[in-house]
């Protein structure tokens, strides 16, 4: 009864209908697929799941995927925030073009991105030939995978942080300067606390995209077992071999690791919001 009265007094009409649609779509898109994956793992058996995961090839693929995804997300956190700051605070020739190019990884098919990156960073490509002259190699190495993950994840940080930067009034920085604070102190004590929640959200989105990335990576990775083979590729290989239980086992491992990482990021985000007074 109290709940019904509370809903009637709500200024937003249609709460029950909206909540019903939300829960239905969430169940169909998120909960049911994840539940089906876990159910497949349960039917396969915990021991069989562990046996499938506990092999050098699978551990190497998981370590490679999550390690490079973390590095790519950290890179995007720093440079994506800098890019958002430049786009939000400065006017320069070609600004709108640069702003539009930020969204290119969203619209570009991942396979096309992988082919383009491979053409650029292969030993006979534009940048790959330069690296070859210095005795280095980019494509078909972990460096190539890292570049692909940075490419697909950068817009998530920039587009998440850019509106927050645009809402920060420059008078806040000017007030800090008039009180005697230097630029670094203003950045560290005034600007960064306000940007931190949005930056962590962009970081989590970039990390999640990188962990599950497949199309843009397989072309530039070389896909060498124990060296440049990513975990999503192992899942595809298992599916092509009709080993659905093995694919589900690797998927469960990725799910648990991803959930743990995102949980830690969300806890840090909650702490940062409470620190600056926004809960």
Output the pLDDT for position 191: 78
Token reading at 189: 């004590």
Burial class (CB in 10 A: 0-12, 13-18, 19+), 246: buried
pLDDT above 50 for 248: yes
Please, what is the average pLDDT of the chain? Answer: 86
Long-range contacts of 61-65 (CB under 8 A, 24+ apart): 61/229, 61/230, 61/231, 61/233, 61/234, 62/231, 62/250, 62/253, 62/254, 62/257, 64/142, 64/145, 64/228, 64/229, 64/230, 64/231, 65/211, 65/230, 65/231, 65/232, 65/254
Q: How far apart are the two ends of the chain, measured CA to CA in Å?
A: 29
**Percentage of the chain exceeding pLDDT 70:** 91
Confidence category of residue 176, pLDDT binned at 50, 70, 90: confident
Output the pLDDT for position 7: 47
Output the pLDDT for position 4: 47
Token reading at 89: 């605070």
Output the pLDDT for position 277: 58
Output the pLDDT for position 242: 92
Q: Which residue has the higher pLDDT, 191 or 75?
A: 75
pLDDT above 60 for 269: yes
Token reading at 177: 């300067």
pLDDT above 80 for 32: yes
Output the pLDDT for position 1: 43
Output the pLDDT for position 13: 64
pLDDT above 50 for 2: no
Output the pLDDT for position 186: 74
Q: How far is CA 111 from CA 45, 227, 248, 277, in A?
A: 35, 21, 24, 43
Q: pTM of the prediction?
A: 0.85
pLDDT digits (tens, 9 = 90+) for 111-139: 899 999 999 999 998 899 999 888 889 99
pLDDT above 90 for 230: yes
pLDDT above 70 for 279: no
Output the pLDDT for position 270: 80
């Amino acid at each position: 009864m109290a709940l019904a009265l509370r809903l009637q007094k709500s200024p937003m009409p249609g709460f029950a209908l909206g909540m019903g649609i939300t829960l239905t779509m969430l169940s169909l898109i998120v909960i049911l697929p994840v539940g089906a994956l876990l159910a497949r793992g349960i039917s396969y058996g915990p021991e069989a799941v562990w046996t499938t995961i506990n092999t050098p090839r699978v551990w190497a693929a998981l370590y490679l995927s999550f390690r490079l995804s973390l590095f790519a997300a950290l890179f995007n956190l720093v440079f994506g925030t800098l890019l958002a700051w430049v786009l939000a605070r400065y006017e320069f020739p070609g600004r709108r073009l640069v702003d539009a190019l930020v969204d290119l990884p969203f619209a570009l098919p991942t396979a096309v991105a992988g082919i383009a990156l491979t053409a650029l960073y292969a030993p006979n490509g534009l940048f790959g030939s330069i690296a070859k002259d210095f005795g280095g190699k980019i494509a078909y190495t972990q460096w190539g995978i890292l570049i692909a993950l940075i490419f697909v994840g950068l817009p998530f940080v920039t587009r998440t942080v850019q509106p927050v930067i645009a809402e920060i009034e420059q008078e806040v920085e000017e007030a800090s300067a008039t009180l005697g604070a230097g630029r670094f102190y203003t950045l560290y004590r005034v600007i960064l606390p306000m940007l931190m929640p949005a930056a962590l959200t962009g970081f989590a989105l970039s990390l999640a995209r990188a962990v599950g990335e497949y199309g843009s990576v397989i072309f530039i990775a070389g896909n060498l077992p124990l060296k440049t083979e990513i975990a999503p590729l192992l899942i595809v290989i298992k599916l092509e071999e009709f080993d659905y239980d093995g694919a589900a086992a690797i998927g469960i491992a990725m799910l648990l690791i991803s959930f743990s990482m995102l949980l830690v990021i969300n806890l840090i985000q909650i702490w940062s919001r409470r620190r600056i007074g926004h809960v």
